[in-house]
Amino acid sequence: MCLVILAHFMSGCATELVPTSQAWPVPKNRLLTQKWRSPTTDTGSLIVKRDRGLVETDCFSRVYIEGVPVADLDASEMVEFFLPAGEHILEIGVGGEELCEGFSEEKLTGASVIITKGRQKVFRIKTGTGGTVLIPTTP
């Protein structure tokens, strides 16, 4: 019985996938760069979206591409960048306003992303009791 209650409680701490079509675009005041914002014939699309849920809702997820801070995402938000074909490093840091004490590079989690010209890659930011992870996903 106790395990069932514990499993129910812990599942309430995890976030839930937001389909790309239902994610809100990040507000312009939380876009930290205009780099990689315009598509060209030599780029592919990278969409990063954040799950919805109760965990860390008072904190933004700061998105980094190649070590450059590019956007602060709140729950259910997404951002799209257009990167040159090739391998890129995508990282997420947890921080933000009110209950968070700012962004800490010690909390970064990352992934290597291969961008193909004319194609789209989508990653979701999922947070649960095990921490924050980046997961490749479908739109």
Asked if 74 contacts 99 with a C-beta cutoff of 8 angstroms, the reply is no
- For the chain, count helices (H), then strands (E): 1, 9
pLDDT digits (tens, 9 = 90+) for 8-49: 444 456 789 999 999 999 999 999 999 999 999 999 999 999
The pLDDT of residue 104 is 54
The pLDDT of residue 55 is 54
CB within 8 A of 34, min separation 6: which ones?
none
pLDDT digits (tens, 9 = 90+) for 96-129: 554 466 555 556 789 999 999 999 999 999 987 7
Domains and CATH numbers, the chain: 2-137 (2.60.40)
CA–CA gap between residue 43 and residue 3 (Å, rounded): 49
User: Does 7 score more than 80 pLDDT?
Assistant: no
User: Does 131 score more than 90 pLDDT?
Assistant: no
